[in-house]
Structure 1
Amino acid sequence: MPRRLLQRYMPHPDALRRQRSLRFMSALIGDPALWVLSRRSVANAFSVGLFSAMLPIPLQMAIAAGGAKLARCNLPLSVGLVWVTNPLTMPLIFYANYRLGAWLMNIPGREAPERLSPHWVAERLGDILPALALGSVVMAVILALVGNLAVRLLWRWQVSRSWKARHRRRRRTCCDETL
């Protein structure tokens, strides 16, 4: 079942609460409802995490944690999924979000320079920001919906597969006993 796979990789809440750097969040980390691994909590965690990851703002992890608390979904998954936009993938993802926003606003998108620098971004921030914001929000909503639906469907498929396998095992043992 997907729950066992996820539990294998999730940190224990007590271990996180004991860390000095996370002490200010001990009430949030200690809430057992935010550590539940059910189809609903995992699917909603994917929505919150992927939505937060697409926002071109600082403190994405804090937003994901707050979203997990509001949505009552799995906290570690929500926060961990923010790392979809890590330092390696962030420029590509945000450039794609910008291009999507420019397309939606029907404005010509700027080509990325050969060498992206903070100076280039600061110079063109006024031109880039509206399209980047629109594209990021649209992409965030799309990924949140697709992520939620994909997790629900995969979870359902896995549970169905495990039920069928269990039914086959029971039928085999039942038939073996009658022989």
Structure 2
Amino acid sequence: MPDPRVILENRQLGIFGKLLQDPNLWHLNRHSVSGAVAVGLFVMYLPPLGHLFMATGLAIVLRVNLPISVTLIWISNPITIPPMFYGAYALGCWMTDQPVVGFDMHFWIDWHNWLAVLAPLLLGSLVCATLCAVVGYLIIQMLWRWLLMREIQRRRERYRALSSTVTSTPSSSRQR
């Protein structure tokens, strides 16, 4: 986790001012982490315009872990964006019953074609963003619960082992 001071001193995030000083933005608990994963995965799938500001704003409003939500937006990077957004575009085309245009470089470079692509891309991006956010949230919730139950079971076993050694020691000394 980055040091909160580093994020607080970031010039780009200076517009959020004192809102970044909310201690809930830095806590690691089940709600904060799972919410941050949902925020990060949702913003990751939106068209890449101001991801940092959107993730920060949503983390502040929802009071979830800020560093996790901001870190997850970097899953969408110059290497992953083309397949992510082409998949979102194909999903949007399928949902709007439009034909999917393949990777024809001349089509994609000509900005006149972008208006025809924009509606299916935005629809597919919103659907993918929502699905990723919900699945990420649920996975973190289940994983956190599973780890908590495992820790409780370990504590019970340690307590049973400790109590059995404590109770067996005095009884053996009484028999002598």
TM-score normalized by structure 2?
A: 0.87
Identical-residue share of aligned pairs (%): 38
Q: Which residue of 2 aligns with 1:47?
A: 38
Structure 2, unaligned stretches of length 5 or more?
169-176
Matched, 1:89 2:80: yes
Matched, 1:67 2:58: yes
1:54–1:112 Cα change, 3 Å:
same
Q: Deviations over 1:94-133 (max 9, x none)?
A: 11100110111111111113xx589626242012111100
Q: Secondary structure of the residue that 2:133 maps to in structure 1?
A: helix
1:167–1:55 Cα change, 3 Å:
same
Amino acid corresponding to residue 156 of structure 2 in structure 1: H
Q: Deviations over 1:1-26 (max 9, x none)?
A: xxxxxxxxx11212333455655545
Q: Which residue of 2 aligns with 1:137?
A: 126
Amino acid corresponding to residue 172 of structure 1 in structure 2: A
Amino acid corresponding to residue 16 of structure 1 in structure 2: I
Q: Is the CA contact (8 Å cut-off) linking 1:14 and 1:30 kept in structure 2?
A: no
TM-score normalized by structure 1?
A: 0.85
**Which residue, out of 100, 111, 136, partners 2:91?**
100
1:67–1:21 Cα change, 3 Å:
closer
Q: Distance in 2 between matches of 1:47 and 1:12?
A: 22
Structure 1, unaligned stretches of length 5 or more?
1-9
Q: Distance in 2 between matches of 1:121 and 1:92?
A: 19
Q: Distance in 1 between matches of 2:51 and 2:10?
A: 20
Q: Which residue of 2 aligns with 1:175?
A: 164
Q: Deviations over 1:42-63 (max 9, x none)?
A: 1111111111110013111110
Over the aligned positions, Cα root-mean-square deviation in angstroms equals 2.0
Shift of 1:148: 0.9
Q: Secondary structure of the residue that 1:124 maps to in structure 2?
A: helix
Q: Is the CA contact (8 Å cut-off) linking 2:34 and 2:141 kept in structure 1?
A: yes
Q: Which residue of 1 aligns with 2:171?
A: none
1:117–1:66 Cα change, 3 Å:
farther
